[in-house]
Structure 1
Amino acid sequence: MSFPNIRPRRLRTSPAMRRLVSETRLSPAEFVLPLFVKEGLTEPRPIASMPGVVQHSRDSLRKAAVEAVQAGVGGLMLFGVPENRDPEGSGGVDPGGILNVAIRDVIREVGDATVVMSDLCLDEFTSHGHCGVLDASGEVDNDRTLQLYGEMALAQAAAGVHVLGPSGMMDGQVGAVRAALDGAGYQDRTILAYAAKYASAFFGPFRDAVESELDGDRRTYQQDPGNLREALREVELDIAEGADMVMVKPAGAYLDVISAVAERVTVPVAAYQVSGEYAMVEAAAANGWIDRERAMMESLTAIRRAGAQITLTYWAVDAARLLRDHY
């Protein structure tokens, strides 16, 4: 057999060689760990559809924050699960609501040793489960919701959060949050916009995690999975309104969107490896159908290769430890 003496396999001959020429490298500093805190719990409560993930008590949340910092994880994204909900989602605005209390707890525990982020949305706090308040016809009232997002942003900023993550996909949400923050003297607070959030089946286990009350779906405000140009438009609008970073959610089924966004913008790009992506690998691994650690690291590498500078993942601590010990 005759062919030119060009052998790409020379660069794959050993772990050391493969490591040397690797084009895509992961770092714990680019991982953000989502954490759920449930009002009234005295100990962590497992989430059945997300093996290894729990609803935290306030005490266990503080311990988890310290553990993540010690592992080198770059940030924490906090979600609150209240005991009581109402149509207005008032628990999200209340300074004594579980999410705002949790922010203060984590800031006191770890301070500036990591970046503390908060989900800014009403869906965990509304009795109907939508990301905004409803009008008389039962539809989400975009502009009235923006007023509440502004109030929620001020409550989270007062609690000390570093980064606010408006995730409701309301038109104008970033501008409303930026105006509220700046008007109250919080010009230094960062906005991570959930700019391209799709109406995805992969969100299923998350709704167990936050005990969602949703009846129906969110297709009138979350994006259609078939649309890419629309995602780019949403990203451009959010940056124009003052977003400091933008996010694509979910990650695994939308690598092309991550890539297109990363090529187009100059702000940091994040991606959220969501609950369904996590749960599928965990379930397959539990059945012996897949190598958990390899699948975990391969999926995170794919997200990074697509162009995400920041990845929200439930494997943040596990992946950070693997990188430290084996990579």
Structure 2
Amino acid sequence: MKVTNKMIDKQLRLRGRLYNLLISKPTETKYIKFMHTVKKQTENRKGKTIEGLQLREEWVTRKDGSKLRICIYTSHNQKKDVPGVLWLHGGGYSQGIPELFASTYKRLIEARDCVIVAPDYRLSIEAPYPAALEDSYAALLWMKSHAKELGIREDQLVVGGESAGGGLTAALTLYVRDTAEVNIAFQMPLYPMIDDRMITESARENNAPIWNSTTNRWAWKLYLGDRFEKEVPIYAAAARATDYHHLPPTITFVGDIEPFRDETIQYVTNLKEAGVPVEFQLYKGCYHGFDIISPNAEISKKATSFFIESFKHAVDHYFAEQD
């Protein structure tokens, strides 16, 4: 899908152009080098939060003996027996840390009292699939086993994330459904990265700002490793699933000019056909991650409002049924 400047929302154009200048005429080698540079630059953000939130860290031991860092965000006057939200950060599976998305955590906590648990999962530049999924699942099990300590209800666990974090969310809910060790109240995979095949119209030859067909292909290649362009499990790329029954109610949105448009729409369609309740919006003229890149644009405010209001409604609706 070829994207022209006129197709982009006017308030999103400048930020999109400026971001693209960071990686002019990218190559695969340059992309990987840039991912490593970003990783180094984000190290100094670890342990930092924003006004209005408290942050503490916990460490979970993996099967190989290494440690998974988990960030726990709460308000300063945290209440008890509130929903627990596992938030999986974005970054193409290859970059990012939980601290970069603290503004999202603040919005969620202010909307409805909750506790955010955000794992610093392994990135694909160091460990391909299934490392990130294993870390996400370990964090979810840790949440459940420490529910009382966290002040959350074991039957009120929520999973969400944006982009690659949305892809991990969709994959994790499939995995949880099939292992049946944890109950998830609802999921929030925002503009999720879920289809490595890149066969949809929006994913082919997409040249939109921020994320396009080229960067998408490189990111999937890093994440899948030896599995790239071979048989890929549904827990790596959720769009490959054929059974969407018994998945949790879902909240999501996506821009109409980004690579993930069609796979998100198909995912929503599959969920609805399987009888899963879905709240979904498609935003015109929006590239990938527009709500984060240009948060003050009117279209971004609309998307954020939809997301937060849907979260509030889901908490009030699905959790009330369990009381």
Q: TM-score, normalised by structure 2?
A: 0.39
The higher radius of gyration belongs to 1
